Structure 1
Amino acid sequence: MNSTHHPDLSDIRRGDWVDRRLPSAWRPYTRLARLDRPVGIWLTLFPCWAALIQASHGFPQLRPLAVFTLGALLMRSAGSTVNDIADRNFDGHVERTRFRPLASGQLRTWQALVFLVAELALAASLLLFLTPYTRLVAIGVLPLVFIYPLCKRFTHWPQAVLGAAFNWGMLMAWAEVAGHIPPGAVFMWLGAVAWQIGYDTVYAYVDVRDDTRLGLKSTAILFGRRGKAFVGLFYGLTIAGWSLGGWLAGMSLPYAIGMLAIAAHLAWQTWRLNLARPDVNYRLFLANILTGILLAGAAFAGSW
């Protein structure tokens, strides 16, 4: 791997809107919730919106749309807080994460724990607006949210656990709108898990040198120099899962055209992947916002 120092790899941008516009007391909490780095929010939201559209056979009703949008925001923020609490002793030694609030001492652990309780309480309050069945499905994600931050200590597959948790809202959307979770919804979710393993492996190559030195595990470390082939494999599984899931969900022809567009975009990402260039890999990770947009657009077009 290229061992060149990359000062631009830190995911905290000094002088951004958080520093310019927010009171100093708010800034570390905003960064703890990743509100300054919304890519994860979009990557959670678009698959969830796609599932809502498919389950609704068109534009979803406003209430579930609002509840699931807020839920994705809050649960992604809570997951980020849990992650930073678990990794507070590692993050200071990693190029990308060394300026995070806990790693840099801007917040104490107890403050982050109080903030986490508030995030989870707000997320739990949204369950009051959902059916009892959806609430039961929602509870199923909690073990994944809390296990994920510890996974990199004992398995090379933390990306799979994160993918299952990140995209759980897809299953909840079907539970809420349709009252059950059909096979098509499960295949859509599995496709999203494969997608996340792919793009989060690309992300993990940004940290692979630091993670190896710290004795942590990831799919990037497991795949090593074969990363390009494995990312391509999981992106292929993504297209397979979403194609089969869409067919089972009764999507029309425009959905298939959307799948071709997504396949082309993911193929381009795989082709551009450079294991020795963390800066390139980080940009490719960000490019998956477009994948999410295309998925939601395909679901909407395929519902007519």
Structure 2
Amino acid sequence: MLARIDKPIGTWLFAWPCFWSVAMAAMPGELPDMRMLALFACWSALIRGVACTINDLLDRDIDKKVERTKSRPLASGVLTPTQGVGFLGFQLLLGLPILHQLNNYSRVFGASSLLLVFSYPLMKRLTYWPQAYLGLTINWGALMGWAAMKESLDPAIILPLYTAGICWTLICVQ
């Protein structure tokens, strides 16, 4: 429940930008690299779980007061914060073998995505538009996917894709 596996939409939101960039990096007329798609599917499930765990750790006192969130494991007391941190560490450890299968260039993007994931829950306290920061966070996979396939970033291709993903988040993800 802490990783919200029962609600897969968040995993899809992390996965689609990865899939888009892997597909765009494929040679014309060829299918996308299925191994990369599988790696990014696993990564998306894990990073989404990490994001939910961090959110619940930071918001557990607020979540207790909100009808929609008061039954979450940390807010309800089913899990202790120490258990939540342990689960967070477990998820991060599970992500390491995935990152190690990518090239060094995309590993840097994978590791740096944690800065966005860890800070997103705080944006609800700092801005009236946290969805913009969510867009930066969940679409980071567009950079990772391209980097994993090409070992570089082509700004003319990847920046419009990343920007479009952020706009998609602002318009569609509520």
> Same fold, TM exceeding 0.5?
yes
- Runs (5+) with no aligned partner, structure 1: 1-30, 204-304
Q: Offset at 1:197?
A: 2.0
Tell me the distance in 1 between the aligned counterparts of 2:167 and 2:35. Answer: 29
Is residue 196 from structure 1 mapped to residue 150 from structure 2 by the alignment?
no
After the TM superposition, which of the residue ranges 114-123 and 182-191 deviates more from structure 2? 182-191
Q: Offset at 1:121?
A: 1.1
Q: Offset at 1:103?
A: 1.0
What does residue 79 of structure 2 align with? 107
Paired AA for residue 176 in structure 1: A
What does residue 52 of structure 1 align with? 22
Structure 1 runs of 4+ aligned residues shifted over 6 Å read none
Q: Offset at 1:47?
A: 2.5
Q: Offset at 1:139?
A: 2.1
**Residues 3 and 53 of structure 2 are in contact (CA less than 8 Å); yes or no, is this contact kept in structure 1?**
yes
Q: 2:67 aligns with which of 79, 92, 95?
A: 95
Paired AA for residue 127 in structure 1: L
Q: Offset at 1:142?
A: 1.6
Paired AA for residue 46 in structure 2: L
What does residue 145 of structure 1 align with? 117
Structure (1 or 2) with the larger CA radius of gyration: 1
TM-score, scaled relative to structure 2: 0.92
**Residues 135 and 167 of structure 2 are in contact (CA less than 8 Å); yes or no, is this contact kept in structure 1?**
yes
Tell me the distance in 1 between the aligned counterparts of 2:88 and 2:171. Answer: 28
What does residue 83 of structure 1 align with? 55
- Runs (5+) with no aligned partner, structure 2: none
Aligned partner of residue 60 in structure 2, secondary structure: coil
Aligned partner of residue 99 in structure 1, secondary structure: coil
TM-score, scaled relative to structure 1: 0.54
Paired residues, number: 171
Q: Offset at 1:62?
A: 2.6
Q: Offset at 1:177?
A: 0.7
Q: Offset at 1:194?
A: 1.5
What whole-Å deviation, never above 9, does each CA across 1:204-240 have from its counterpart, x for those lacking one? xxxxxxxxxxxxxxxxxxxxxxxxxxxxxxxxxxxxx
Aligned partner of residue 93 in structure 1, secondary structure: coil
**Residues 17 and 140 of structure 2 are in contact (CA less than 8 Å); yes or no, is this contact kept in structure 1?**
no
What whole-Å deviation, never above 9, does each CA across 1:129-165 have from its counterpart, x for those lacking one? 0111111122221211111111111211221222111
Paired AA for residue 168 in structure 2: W
Q: Which aligned pairs between 1:158-197 and structure 2 lie closer than 5 A?
A: 158-182=130-154, 183-197=156-170
Percent identical residues:
40
Q: Offset at 1:124?
A: 2.1
Which protein has greater RCO, CA pairs closer than 8 Å, 6+ apart?
Answer: 2
What does residue 43 of structure 1 align with? 13
Aligned partner of residue 97 in structure 1, secondary structure: coil
What does residue 93 of structure 2 align with? 121
